[in-house]
Chains A and B, each alone.
Chain A
Amino acid sequence: MAMKTLTAEQKKALATLRERLGGISEEKRQAQRHLVAARKSIQKFLQAQQATVPQLAQALGMPADEALWHVTGMRKYGKVTEVGEEDDYPLYALVEIDDKPAAGH
C-alpha cells in the first residue's frame, strides 16, 4: 500500500483534531497496546497450530469472549479463516499470504 507524506495542512488539521479530542488519553493508548499485543500473540500461536477459541484463550491466558472477538476481527480483515470443527467449536487457522509477486510480473 502506497503511503504518502502528510502535507503541512493535513498535519495541522490532525493536531487540531487531536487537541479537540483532548489528546490521546492513557486509557486509549493502553487499549491500543493491548489490541496490538493480543493480535500478535494470536497470530504467533496460530502460526504453529490451528485452534478453537477456548484453546486460544487457555494458551494465551485471555478470556474466551475476548479471544473470540479478536478472531472475529482477524477473520473479517482476512487474517484468519475457519478450517473445521473440534468438540462443538470452530477451528481457526492463519491465512497464509503470499507476498511474492506472481510469475511474469
Chain B
Amino acid sequence: MNTQIDSSFTPDALVVGGGIAGLQSALDLADQGLKVLVVERQASIGGHMIALSKVFPTLDCASCITTPKMSAAAHHENITILTSTEVEAIESAGGVHHVKLLQKPTYVNFDKCIGCRLCEYACDTEYPDPFEEGLGAVKAIAVPFTNAIPQKAVLNAEHCSTCGTCARVCPTDAIEFDQQPRRLTIATDAVIVASGFKLNSITVKPQYNAQRSQDIISPLTLERLLAPHGPYGRVLRPSDGKIPGSIAFVQCAGSRDESIGVPYCSRVCCMYSIKQAMLLSGALPLADITIYYMDIRAFGKGYEQFFQNAKAMGINFVRGKVARIDPLDGGDLSLHVENTEEAENPIAERRHDLVVLAQGMIPGWNPAAATPVACAADGFVATTSLTAPTATVAPGIFVAGTAAGPKDIVDTIAEAGAAAMQASQYLFQKRAEALVG
C-alpha cells in the first residue's frame, strides 16, 4: 500500500473518505484503469461499517463484507491511500481540482512498521478506545483495531507519556518522534465526496437524560457491544457490567424532530434497531426487548419480512413516542411513554436497564466551507437533479453515500458505483475532448 506521495502525484480521481462508499467508488474507478487517491481522516480505512456487528436484512457479518473491500483497495495497483489525512480545501480552476491535504503525524514510519504490536504491548498508557465508543481501552501507541488497514501502529500524542518505551522495543526502528504535520496539494480531474455521516449527539434531547446515565447508549455503542470482538466480549451494561435483562429502543430520538433541527427521517434507524433487537435476542435469550416507535419504515428489499420475523421472534413493538427517560437509583431507567394502541390507559411508565436511542444521521463534513461544493438545507451535499443524483453543483465533483443524505449500506454501495460511473464518464469525455482539441 503506497502511503508516501508528494504534490507531483496526479491521480485521475481523488476520493474523499475511505468508508464503504469511498472504497466502492475507488475500486470501480481503479478497475477501469484510472489512478485513484483515497484520502481518509482516520488511521484506518473502513469507515463506520467496519465497526458494525452485522448488517440487515441478511444478518451477514459486517466486517466479512467490509474487510475484503478494504483489502482489495489497499492492494489495488491503481489505488493509493492516505490515512490520517484531512481535506482542508478544494480549489477548482480550468477543469482541474487542486485538493489541499493535511497529513497528520502518526509518529510511525509505515514503510518500516511491520504491525507486530510489540510497541502496543510495551506501552503502559491507556485511554478510552474511540473505536469501541469509549467503552474499551487502547494504548497510546496501537494498531487502531484488529482488522485495521493499514496494519500499522499509530501514536496518539495527546495520550503519550513520551517515555520512549515504544522506540526501545520496536524491532525495525519505525518510531519517529520528530514527524511533523505535512501539507500537500494534489491536482486531479475528478473528485468524489464520500465523507459519510455522524450521529447527532446522544444528549441532543435533554428530556432523555443521556448525560445522567451511562446506560442510555447510542446505536453505534450497541454495535460494538454486539460485535464478537467488542470491548466486553458480550453485551453488558456500561455503568456496572451487569448482563441486561430488559432493553428498550427509542425510535426517532434524533430525527423527525424540528426542535433539534433534524426534521428529516434518518431512513436507517428502524431497520438497524430491528436488527439489533434480533441480535440481542440471540445474545440474551432471557431478556425482554421493546422497540418504542412512531411508525416502522421498512421500505427496502426484504425489509418488511425482516420486521415480521422480529415480531415473530418475540420482540415487543410499542407504538408510542417516549416523552421522557428518568434514571432511577439502582441503575434502572424509567421511560414515560404514550402507547397509542392502548385505548384505556395509554400513558405508562416502563422500566428497563439499558436504553438505546435511535439517533439521526447528520453530515460528517461540511464541504461547502472550503470547496466549490454546495450543501442543501439539511446540511448534506446538494445534488443537481433527480436524473444525476451523484452530480454536485461543481463540474467534476461527485458525491456518494451518506455524504449526500441518510441511506443504508445497500443504497450507499449502489450510489458509490453510480458516482464512479459518472466520474469515469466525465474523465473519458474530457480526455476525448482534449484529443479532438
Contact = CB atoms under 8 A, between A and B. Distances in A.
Contacts of B236: 68, 90
A16 B177 CA distance: 8
B168 A88 contact: no
Contacts of A14: 162, 164, 167, 177
Contacts of A70: 137
A21 B139 CA distance: 18
Given A72-B135, A89-B242, A3 B169 contact: yes
A44 B162 CA distance: 28
Interface in B98-122: 107, 118, 121-122
Given A6-B167, A10-B167, A90 B234 contact: yes
B395 interface: no
B346 interface: no
Q: Is the interface of A mostly helix, strand, loop or mixed?
A: helix
Contacts of B128: 69
Interface string A4-37: 1110001111101110010010001000100110
A64 interface: yes
A17 B162 contact: yes
Q: How large is the interface on A (under 10, 10 to 19, 20 to 34, 35 or more residues)?
A: 35 or more
A103 interface: no
A32 B125 contact: yes
A1 B118 contact: yes
B239 A17 contact: no
B161 interface: yes
Given A73-B137, A82-B233, A65 B238 contact: yes
Nearest to B137: A73
B122 A1 contact: yes
Nearest to B135: A72
Nearest to A17: B177
B178 A76 contact: no
A42 interface: no
Contacts of A54: 240-241
A65 B240 contact: yes
A13 B241 contact: no
B176 interface: yes
Contacts of A17: 107, 157, 160, 162, 177-178
Interface of B: 107, 118, 121-122, 124-126, 128, 135-137, 139, 157, 160-162, 164-165, 167-169, 175-178, 214, 231-234, 236, 238-243, 245
Given A16-B178, A72-B135, 4 more contacts: A32-B124, A52-B241, A68-B239, A72-B136
Interface of A: 1-6, 10-14, 16-18, 21, 24, 28, 32, 35-36, 52-54, 57, 64-65, 67-73, 75-77, 82, 85, 88-90
